[in-house]
Structures are given as structure tokens and as C-alpha cells.
Structure 1
Amino acid sequence: MIPSLEIKEFFTPGKTLDKAHVILHITEPNAPHERERGVLFALFELTRGTVGLIENCQKIIEYIEERYYSREEKSESVLEHILQAVNREYRTILSQYQTELSCVVGTINDGEIQLSYHGKPTAVVFFHHNNEIATLPVIEEENNAELFFSELISGTIGTRDFFYAATPHTLNYFPLDRIAKLVNDRPVREVANHIQKVLSEIGSDYSFGGLLTQILHIRPNSSKLAPEKIEHLGSEASLNHLANATHETAETLSPPLFGDVKKTLQKIKDSPSRFAHLRSGSSAKSDSTKDHVLIIIGRSMVMAIQSLARICVGIGRSIFNFFFWLYRLIKNRNSRLKEINQARLKLNNCRRTIVGLPTATKVIATSLLLIGLIFLSSLVYLRIYEYQTAAKTKIINLIQAIIDKKDAAEASLAYEDKAKAQILIDEAQALLNQLPNDSNTEKNKQGELNAILLSVRDKLRNEHRVTPELIANLSIVNGENHAEKLTLSDTTLIAFGSNDPSWYFINIATNAVEGKLHESMNGLIEASPTNEGDLIVFRSQTGELGVFDTKTQTLTKKNISFPANDAIISTMEIYNRKLYVIDSINKKIYRHNQTQNGYDQGALWSRSGESRLGGVVSMSIDGDLYALKDNGEVRKWYRGEEQAFNLAAVDPTMDSAEKISVPEDGDEIFILDNKKRRILVFDKNGVFREQIVSDSFKNPTGMTITNKGKTIFILDNGTVYRVSR
């Protein structure tokens, strides 16, 4: 990589490759004559592009690269001549292929940028202005010319400024103000990696590509920009001249491709001057001195290590001899005094030898010992530091991954892809749980990130907090009522329960409540009214059926039989005066016709998907039959055939449910989640809309819907509420 330039690309393929194909090409030269011409880049986006057009675009890129770095091409205006040749050679391609093409081709050499484009790609300069990152669009209007490249933009930018180019659809997820914030906070490589990671996690049909460049410093040996000129041309003038060489042409064969000036950029006032950093002539000498110092230090370290090794070997031998001497002392009891005297003699000899050493030798030996100790301490310190650095790096990477997934979730939310956003935010939460929280700082950071994720979850949850209207308090009528379920007939709500011998009639117009005994049939657990509202079918705990006549206000037991002798009703529903029953034992759906004494034996209605009929607790019919299972799962049948159907994920997860209601005259599905005290609302395609919650809900067990889903009645611990939407 050229030392004066830091460049990093990003590329994410789309799920549908034929929808938008992206070609990204960057050439970073190595040979001296190539380095003089800088970096060449090309970025193409072809919407619904054909194989032929893609191949031709690749040929154009190869052609431009080969000629640009050729020794035969003159340095002056080389890109202009090449693009002119491209227009002549490939002038008929755009009319031949019916596709949308956006591309940008350009060069970066120190602070000088030249580029030409077709369509409307994104090309922007980010620069420091009044302690902020300002944005200067290089391409501001779409180029719809018949030629590939009809205008050239050239100019210079200052040190530490950024150049950014990307395909058009990237703006949908990363607007320029967001890129500006990123380049202000992070290095180029991290910004590009962040963009690529977020775009890949979105999972769009489109492909994305682009590059980000920062000018680190201007090379002193550059033939493009002389130091004298740079010192008098700050970033104000550089930016103002960025597009001063915009040209256009109408000729097709031998056109003067870049003619008169077409565009100028408005001067940016109060912009601080930013000059190229030129190295002084003494830098080479300074580097040479540093090299000599490093060599001396290295040799000293090698000598210290060798001396330390000898000292360690000597210490090891001494330890071995000491233990061997102890062994002989213990084993040879008769010669212990002799051995001790010999040892004292050796110690005295060593002491005299050390004392007799020259002072210089003592200093050198002490210095080597200290160096050895310092070296060992350094090794231990470096090991501990390496471990701590790895731990910190892991935490930083985890935090960055959490932020990336949060950003991707927000981008998915912006395009109403809540299922994808839910997955991403769950993954971010799992990463958050891996963060350590031993110190107060770590706990605070974890709390901060958790708050950020919760803010996204709140958007996902789409909670609608309501204050329901109290319709009736059944405790006033019966202080020991055990009503759990609710049904509606015309303007009268009926509340009942399996352990309550009474049922309660509530007039929704006057809120009047009347309690009555239903002696003919006890243990009522489910009810389903006809569409006409003249009859309500009740089911008891024992499986008995009773029909309530709303005109005579009488409940009469009715007969019913099944094709299977061991059938047990798990739930039922009246639709078009036919009774649909789910048999939880045999996992079948039966349809029964009404008779004078009740309902006939019924016929098998379900023809597929019967294995998924276990655990059904409620069902509702609007033409399609929806079956709600005890784990919150909903399955759908039409004319006996199971349909492909799934509810969108919700947060918190729905792992249980009490009742489902699908009004025939509405476009929504309502599910009562008793455990989480909420009403979940989906459209009839299973797309999540909202969850209705209230501080008044304590133990909601009964629900009925009216007015096309605009009015919901809830039974909660003997209290009836009305929720208006």
C-alpha cells in the first residue's frame, strides 16, 4: 500500500444476484513507474444486468487499468485520453442493453483526485471544518448521457481528509451524515468493516460495494504537487477546485473529450487551512541514528541473555551439588564432621575469591545479574500484559459486534423487516450476556449497552399501552364468582366459568349486570355464538353440549356423536351454522350439521396437517380455520387442507396462549396471552402489528371481539373491561 494513502473497500453480495450486480476494482501499484500514477479504482452497479453487459464492463476496467499503468502512455492527461478511447470503443453498449448502470472510475495520487462517472453513484469528500466533519458531494446530478463517460472531475484534497465512493443503493442504509459520524470516530479500516458487516447482516436483495480513503500525508517526492504550490493552496482552494476540470462533449468518434469548464464548487468560508506534511531532510539521518541505537541495544540484550543463561546453569549446578552433599551427609554418619568442614572450607575459598575479584568485575557481574532479573521481570510483565490486552481486545470486539448488530437491526426496522431485526437484536443480547460485569465500570458499560438494546426492543415490541374502560364488576353481583370466559350475543356479554354455577349477563349499552343460575348444565368452559346471534353453543368439562336460545333465554342440552368412539373435544367453533370440532385424541377436525336433537355424527373435514393438531386450546373461523396451540403456535386450514402459515416473532416470545379470535369482517388476528397479560394483534398474513398491554390487566382469561376488531372486551378476575382502538 502507498504510504501516503490508506484505502479500504467493502463489498456485500445480494441474495438475488440478477437484481443488482456490483463490480469493485482497486489497483494499488507496486512498480516505481506505477506508483507515480497512484491508485486506480472502478466501481460499477448494474441493475438487472445481463451477462454480456457484465463481461463488457469487466473488459472496460481491464482496458483502463492496462493503459493507465502502461509506460507508453504519457503521464499528462492519461486518464482523459483513456476514457475518450473507451467512449469510442464502447459507444453502442448502453443502447444495446436495457439496464440501469451507475459507475465511477478514478485515480488518487497523493491529494489529487480525478474521476468520471455514469448514472448516479455516490462520491463524497469528508473534511474537518470548525471541529466537525463536513460533507462535500462530488457528484450532485445524475449523468444520463449516451456516452459511458461524458465529464471529468479533478482537484485536490487536504491531509487527513476522506474520499468515499459507493453504489447508489448503499445510501438507503448508510446516509452520508452517518458515514461522516463514523469517519470522525473510527479509523478507515474499522469504518469499512462496520459498513460491510451491517450490510451483510441486513440480507438485502441488492449487492453493495464501495471504498473509503484517507489522505495520510503528501509524499515529498511527488511530481504532481510542488511544495511551494501546496503551501499556498490549503483545503479551501483544494475543495473549491475539486470539480474545476469538469468537461463534456457531444462528439462521438474523435471528440475533444474534456472541453470547457462546466461546474465549480462554492467556496467554503472560515475553513482552516490544511497543508501537506513534508518531511525534512534530516529525517534520513534521524532514522540512521535510531537504527544504530537499536542495534546496540539488541547486542546488549543478547549478551545479557547469554550471561543470564550461564548464571542459571551455575545456580542449577550449585543446587544439585547442595542436595547431593546433603544426601552424603545423611547417609555417611561417621564422616559428617569431615563433610561439614570441607563445605566450610569451600565456602571460605569462594568468599575469598569473590572478595579478591577486581571492582570492575564485581560491577559487571552485578550489572548482568540485575539485567537478568529485569529481563525475567519483563518477560513476566509482557506475558501478563499480553493476557490483559487479549482480554480487553475480546471485550472491545464483543462491544463492537453488539453495536453492529444493533445498527443492522435498526436498518431492518427502517424497511419493516421486523423478523430480521428480532433475530439480530436477540444475537446482540446473547453477545451482551458474554461481557464481564465484575467491576463497576464493566457493570455500567453493560447497563449502557442493555439500555441501547432495550430501546430497539421497544420499537420491535410496538407496545400499545391502554387504559381500558371498566364495564362491570361481577363481585358486586356475586362476591364469590369464578367467571373465566366471555362470549357476546348482540349487545349482551355473557361471563361464565367451569367452577361457577351462575353466569352473568352484562348489557354493554347500560353496563347493567344480572346473575343467573344455569342448573341444566354445569362446568361451562367454552362458548361459540352463531353469526346471526340467535344461538350460542356451550361446552362443559365433561364434553356435553348445550344450546342457549337468546330469545327464550334458555339453555338446552344437545346430542352429538363422532366418527371415532374415543373422540374428545379440545375446542369448537360455529361457522355458517355448522359446528367445527377439533378432536385432540385422534388429531382430526370434524364438521357437524345441526339436527333437531343437536348435531349429527359429523364428517372428517381435515385432509392434511393432522399431526399438528395436538395441544390445540382454541380456534376461530373466518373462512379459513385458525387453530391456536398451547405453546402459542398458530396453524391454518382452508377447505380441509393445511396452509403454509406462521406468525411473525414477537418480543417477549409468545410461549403460551389462551384464546384466538379472527373476526370475519376484519383483517386482523387477536390472541390473548394470559401469562404475559397482553393481547397480540397480527394481520391475516401473520405479520405482527402491535401488542396491547395495560396496568389494569392482572389475570385476563376471557376475550371477545366486535366492531371489526375496533372493540375488545376482556374478562380479568371478575372484572369486565372494554378496549377501544
Structure 2
Amino acid sequence: MKNGLEIQEFFVEGSNQRASHVLLHITEPITQNEKDKGYFFAVIEVNNSYSEQIGQLQQIIDDIEIKYYNEENTDINNYFESILQEINQQSHSVLHYKDSHITVLVGILQKRHLTLAYHNTPIAYLFYNTQNGLQGSEIIDKNEKETPEQLFSSVVEGEMKDDDYLYVASASVSEHFSPDRVRKIIQNKATRQGALHIQKVLDNLKDEYSFGGIVFHTPKPQIEIKRYQNTKADALGSQASMNELLNTTRNTADTLSPSLLKNLKDKFLSLFKKEKPITNPTEKKSTKQNNRDITTHSNIETNFRSNKKNKNKKISEKILILFGRSLVLIFNSIFFVIKKIITTLATWLTNIFYLITNKSGQRTIIIDRFRNTLNERKEKIKNVSIISKILFLALILIAIIFLGSIIYIKIKDNKEAKLAQYETMIQNIIDKKDEAEAKLLYGEEGKALEILNETQNLINNLPQDNETKINKYIELKNATDNILNKLQKMNSVITEVIADFNNNKPSSPLQKIINFNNNIFVYSNDDKNMYQVNLISKEIQIKNHENQPNLIAADTPKEDDKIVFLTKNNSIFEYNKSTESLSNKDISFPIDNAKIENLVIYNRKLYTLSPINDQIYKHSQTQTGYDRGTAWITKKSSSLSKAISIAIDGNVFVLTSDAKILHFYGGEEKVFAIQGVHPELQNPTKIWTYANSDYLYILEPTNRRVVLLDKDGNFIEQFTSSDWKNPNDMLVDQDNKIVYILDDNKIYKFSTK
């Protein structure tokens, strides 16, 4: 190896240049003076970039390169630092673009001496051989404090040894390639193959971000074989070596993907070559810029370069000429193919028509013609020599093997890329899961929930095309769900079915339950029967209430001596122990057409909820029922128009259909907010509390759960069961810590202890 150094870059352009823009620059020295100064390289990534900002950064790279190579200075390191100091004084504006984030790394590799300068935290690793194999060391100190007004605030120097690898890359690459993964790649592959593998994997991501990087390798010195000097090749210098490397990459791609229209491709190339002037390869090129001559170094640049107007004109002319000739060739080829297809198709259709109809006796002629053609082909094949036949078959076999090899390589590369992408996804999921556990451990529940939501989205995108991947998906999903349950304090309870009314065939789904004297009564506004379940014997009795239809709500006082039922038309019925039947009771309201949705009894007073009138009415008991009531709410800022349930413990709590709780005391509304419930409440249906309970119980059918809050609105815990489908109603036995759930015409029981 002539210069004792292997260099291979990789670059993938993203779909969103505004979100991520990468500048990748390598300068290979040509003259002896430039070779003494070594290689100059730069890797820059800009997030939320601006075109003016990209132009400024490209100009900074050009300025550093020109000043470094044009100065006759033996103290290279100090001079490079002085150039960076000068750039710092001139580059303030490039750092002040709104919402833009810049990561910069520039460096000089002079023989084996390495000098790096950087801004923010680009990727820079040195990999070196030990007895335990290739090991890596991070070059840049990420904990070092940056100087916000300087583009380059830190410089790192060191020596590379034989068989060392230097790996530099834009910051976004670390999202998909960890340093350990890069180490394994360059340990198992040649420098060029390793960089191309990284490029292929990043390209297959089809990400909006751009990626770029360079791999340098200082191989061990090998014995050189003497040969005759080729002055022409030497005159070309390292530029020819680099061009040969790039052409090798292109030729390899042509070999793996041979063109099906080779002649057409050759014509394209010949057309382009006609426009390209022939120049002396040993002649040095120079350009005029700012009234001074500048040597043009051999570069590999990617993703951005501002060109001169005359160059743009020449390139545009070539493109227009090539485009025009390409269109002519394409149209001619398409016309020829279509003409051939139509002619062949017409001939076959005509022959088929004559064969079927035998018009003018053409059937025999066509059959004879076909036989003659077939016999001629057979005769030609018979006259071919055995050697020619063998060679022909061998050629076919070789072609099949060749095509099969290409297809195999393509399939293999595609599988490797997909496997690498899958492994990257798995590692990202594991990293985020671990990060969420750490956040949860330190009490950062909000951040942990955000990370877990991202993790679940990644898991949902995992492929499941074989049993192994399905098992991995289930494993990661269960692990994430366990963390989420810890965060949400979700208790999956074991339930007991104490009554199943499906055997009784109710005329409509049962919707409400109420407890009374060690019995649970189950009813619906569309069913003429009410079902009584004894909690001790679990015996079910059916009670007909055909004369008292449309029951929609009920409650019992703490004395447990009666049940008060509400109907759709605002009537009141009482059920008591002695009569074991429903009897109508008087009640009226302060205004006409009061639409009552729910009721609750507290201290023998009846409270009725009227969302349409935005009020709660308080009724006292009379000999024949209840009085006309008075408006209880005297001061409020919220509307009760969406109120659906009410609970009283001295304070009044009203639940609305849009998952809010309104708190009232003494007729006045108090501040109340629900906090810490994950996921947030969706369409809750019932709230319950009493003076002997420290909690508010909320039933939410959407997520099949019962949520517990303290009376300040803070989340305590929640309960769910895989047995529930769409819970309709809830009863709470606070003394025994038991909750009863009505769902799918069944009563479930579980303990909150």
C-alpha cells in the first residue's frame, strides 16, 4: 500500500434536508508539500438547517483547507490551531440560527499523527488491537463544557499505531450503530466492506435524517515487491488511487446488477463521453478565486457544494443534451418493442383464427408451415456439432449459475440488511425500556410514561414473520406492559361470579344494581322484571314491576331500610322490607319540566341531579313522599349540563361525561382537579363515595377499570379484569373492601385489599 493508509467514507442522504443536513469532506494531498501535511477531513451535521447556514459551513471548510495547504509552515499543529482560532473569530453568525443544532468535527491525519477539533458531540472512536481482540476508546470528552460563542473550543491530539482504526461520523449515526457494533463490523470485514455495510444498513432505513462518516485504517507495513516505475501513473498521484477505489465500487455494483439493456446503456455512456473533452491527466488544475491562484485538491465531498455559474452552465448543457438523446433512444426502443409485440401478436391471432375457422382452406397451409418450420429447426440443431452443443449447454449452465449467484447475493444482502435493521430496532426497544425503568425508579413518572409510549410504538412496528420474531415481540410487549402496569398502578384482580342472569333471559341487557339488606337488586329501564340476588345463598328471585316501568336510578339510605327508585318521567317509587313491593311516592320540583338524571340519599335527605336545569335539588321527607325541594347550588363556575352521576359524603361530587369531577360544599363549588391517572379517564359512567370512605371510586367501561382517587383528586390505584367486557354499573362495600361489577348480565365480585 503506497501511502500506508486505508480510507473509506459512507454517506446516506435523508428524505428531509431541513431536519438533517450532513457535509462530508475528505482532501487527499497531491503534491509532496501537501503529502507532508497529511489528510484534511470534516464531518458536519446540522439539524433544522438553513441554506445560508449550510453555505457558510461549506465556506468554512474551504477556508480551513486552503489556508492549511497553502501556507509554508513546518510547525503544522500550531498553525492548524491558529487557523481554527481565526475561524472562531469569523464564524459567530453560523451558530445563531433559530432552533438550529450543529455538530462539527474537523481533523488532520499527518502520517500517524492525529489532530481533531470539534463542536458539540460528534462521533469519534479509536479502535486498537489487544490480546483480547479489537478494543475501542472514545476520543471526545462529552462532559467537557462547550464555549457557546466559538465553533471550535476543543482540540485533541494523539498518535495512531499500526493496525489502528479511526472512526468518525455524524451524531445521528449513533442512533442505529453503537460503537461496539461498529467495532465488530470493522473487526470482521475489510475497511471498505465495513463502511459499505454501514452505508447499506443506513440506506435501508429510509430515514428522514442524513448520515455520514469516515473509517481510517493504518495497516501494518508489508514487504513491497519492486517493479518498474510507471511515470504516467505516478504523475496521477493519490487522485488516481482514490478514483480507482470509487470506480471499483461502481464496477462491483454493475457486476451485481447487470443491465438487461446493455446496448442501450453503452449508447448512453458513449453519448456522454462525446461531450467530455480529453485532458492531460498529468496536468494540474487551478481555479481563480478572490484574485489569487488556489490548488484544487483531490476531494470526496457529499451533500453540498456551491458551484460557479459557468460550471453550472456546462453541466446544464450536458444534461439537456443527454436528456434529449436519451428520450430519442427510449422512444425508439419502446416503438421497436411495441411494434414487434403487435406484429407477433397479430400473426398469432391470424393463425389461430384460420386454424379455428379454416377460412379458404388455410388450416392445412398453416399446419404445414408450422411443421416445416419445426423440421427446419430440428435439422439445424441436428447439424450442429457435438462440441458446439456441449458449449451451448455449458453456456446456458454458466448463465444460469451466474444469474443464480447474483440473485443469491442480492437476497443474502437484503436479508443481512433486514436482520441488521431488526437487531437495531430490538436494541433501541431494550434501551428505551431500561431508560423507562430508571426514570420510574427515580420518581420521574411523567418522563417514564412518555418513553414507554415510544417503546410501545416501536414494538408495534416489529416484524412478526416467523415464530422466533413472534416470541420476541411477545417477550418485549409483556416486559413493557409490566413496567406500564407498575407506573399506572394497575391491579389485575381475580373476580368471582356471584350471579349470572343470562339463564333468566332478560328482555334487555341489565344496566343497574343496588344493594339492600344483604341482597343485590338488578334492573333495567326496558325490562319489566327486577332480579334479587341473596349474597349469602346466591339465590335469584324475579320480581315483576310492570306497573312501575322505566326505572333509571336508585339509592338506599345508610339505615338500609328502603330503596328509592327514580323513573324516566321523574316519578319516585319506594321498596321496603315489609311489603317487598314498589309503592309510588309524591315528589315535586321548584320548576316545571325538571329533567332528573340521578339521585342520592344522604342523612335522610334526597338530592336529585338535573343537568338540563344546571342544578341539584334537595328534598326533605314527608308522610307521603318528598317535598318539592329547593335549589341546593348557590355558587358555581362550571356547568352541570354533562353531569351523569352524583355522590355525597358531606361534600358533593358530580361526575360528568367528559371525565371531570365537580366538587361542591355548602352549595358552593370548590377547586378540584384529577391528577396522575394513566391512561386518562375516557367516558366514565359512575362515581361513588360516602362518609366512611377515604376514596372516590370511578367506573370507566372504556378501559374496563375501576379507578380510586383520594378526595383531593390524586390518583391512588386502579383495578381491571380480563373477565370484564363492558361494565355497566358498580357497587362498593366499603366496610368489607369489596366491589361488585355488573357486566354482560353477570355480577362479578373482587376485593380491594
TM-score normalised according to structure 2 size: 0.51
Structure 2 distance, partners of 1:178, 1:104, is 19
Q: Which residue of 2 aligns with 1:65?
A: 61
1:338-370: CA deviation from partner (whole Å, max 9, x where unpaired) = x8999899789959985996x66x865885698
The offset of 1:188, in angstroms, is 3.7
Structure 1 distance, partners of 2:690, 2:200, is 52
| 8 Å CA contact 2:43, 2:169 repeated in 1 | no
Structure 1 distance, partners of 2:723, 2:90, is 75
1:41-81: CA deviation from partner (whole Å, max 9, x where unpaired) = 457999xxxx9xx9999999567424311153458224311
> Is residue 591 from structure 1 mapped to residue 616 from structure 2 by the alignment?
yes
Q: Which amino acid aligns with 1:659?
A: K
Q: Is the partner of 1:425 in helix, strand or coil?
A: helix
> Is residue 446 from structure 1 mapped to residue 470 from structure 2 by the alignment?
yes
Q: Which residue of 2 aligns with 1:80?
A: 81
Change (3 A) 1:113 1:354: same
Q: Which residue of 2 aligns with 1:418?
A: 449
1:459 aligned to which of 470, 483, 494: 483
Structure 2 distance, partners of 1:150, 1:341, is 88
Change (3 A) 1:495 1:453: same
| 8 Å CA contact 1:538, 1:546 repeated in 2 | yes
| 8 Å CA contact 2:673, 2:713 repeated in 1 | no
1:692 aligned to which of 716, 719, 722: 719
| 8 Å CA contact 1:484, 1:718 repeated in 2 | no
> Is residue 4 from structure 1 mapped to residue 18 from structure 2 by the alignment?
no
1:415-471: CA deviation from partner (whole Å, max 9, x where unpaired) = 636367447636753x56xx6x7xxx724423432432343233334464477899x
Equivalent residue runs for 1:551-590 within 5 Å: 559-562=586-589, 568-573=595-600, 579-583=607-611, 589-590=614-615
Q: Which residue of 1 aligns with 2:106?
A: 106
Q: Which residue of 2 aligns with 1:539?
A: 565
Equivalent residue runs for 1:674-689 within 5 Å: 678-681=705-708
Change (3 A) 1:166 1:711: farther
Q: Is the partner of 1:153 in helix, strand or coil?
A: strand
Structure 1 distance, partners of 2:369, 2:55, is 89
Change (3 A) 1:132 1:581: farther
Q: Which amino acid aligns with 2:447?
A: E
Structure 2 distance, partners of 1:405, 1:642, is 43
Q: Which residue of 2 aligns with 1:256?
A: none
Q: Which amino acid aligns with 2:106?
A: G
Change (3 A) 1:184 1:190: farther
| 8 Å CA contact 2:40, 2:108 repeated in 1 | yes
Q: Judge which range, 455-464 or 364-373, deviates more.
A: 364-373
Q: Which residue of 1 aligns with 2:698?
A: 671
| 8 Å CA contact 2:689, 2:695 repeated in 1 | yes
The offset of 1:82, in angstroms, is 1.9
Change (3 A) 1:679 1:645: closer
Q: Which amino acid aligns with 2:686?
A: K
Q: Which amino acid aligns with 1:593?
A: K
Q: Which residue of 1 aligns with 2:313?
A: none
Q: Is the partner of 2:597 in helix, strand or coil?
A: strand
Q: Which residue of 2 aligns with 1:265?
A: none
Structure 1 distance, partners of 2:709, 2:219, is 67
Change (3 A) 1:66 1:658: same
The offset of 1:179, in angstroms, is 5.7
Q: Which residue of 2 aligns with 1:205?
A: none
Q: Which residue of 2 aligns with 1:136?
A: 138
Structure 2 distance, partners of 1:344, 1:626, is 88
The offset of 1:640, in angstroms, is 8.6
Gaps of 5+ in 2: 1-5, 186-193, 225-239, 265-336, 440-445, 501-509, 524-528, 577-581
Q: Which residue of 1 aligns with 2:41?
A: 39
Gaps of 5+ in 1: 15-21, 201-208, 219-224, 232-278, 304-308, 476-481, 507-514, 550-554
Q: Which amino acid aligns with 1:625?
A: V
Structure 2 distance, partners of 1:642, 1:109, is 67
TM-score normalised according to structure 1 size: 0.52
Q: Which residue of 2 aligns with 1:125?
A: 125
Q: Which residue of 2 aligns with 1:627?
A: 656
Q: Is the partner of 2:619 in helix, strand or coil?
A: coil
| 8 Å CA contact 1:560, 1:599 repeated in 2 | yes
| 8 Å CA contact 1:121, 1:165 repeated in 2 | no
| 8 Å CA contact 2:493, 2:721 repeated in 1 | yes
The offset of 1:523, in angstroms, is 9.8
Structure 1 distance, partners of 2:115, 2:351, is 80
Change (3 A) 1:425 1:619: farther
| 8 Å CA contact 1:501, 1:522 repeated in 2 | no
Structure 2 distance, partners of 1:316, 1:559, is 96
| 8 Å CA contact 2:554, 2:566 repeated in 1 | no
Change (3 A) 1:702 1:12: same
Q: Is the partner of 2:144 in helix, strand or coil?
A: coil
| 8 Å CA contact 1:496, 1:504 repeated in 2 | no
Structure 1 distance, partners of 2:592, 2:480, is 53
1:28 aligned to which of 25, 28, 44: 25
Change (3 A) 1:723 1:391: same
The offset of 1:723, in angstroms, is 1.4
Structure 1 distance, partners of 2:20, 2:684, is 50
| 8 Å CA contact 1:620, 1:627 repeated in 2 | no
Structure 2 distance, partners of 1:693, 1:178, is 40
Q: Which residue of 2 aligns with 1:306?
A: none
Q: Is the partner of 1:65 in helix, strand or coil?
A: helix
Q: Is the partner of 2:466 in helix, strand or coil?
A: helix
| 8 Å CA contact 1:522, 1:540 repeated in 2 | no
| 8 Å CA contact 1:182, 1:191 repeated in 2 | no
Q: CA RMSD in A?
A: 7.8
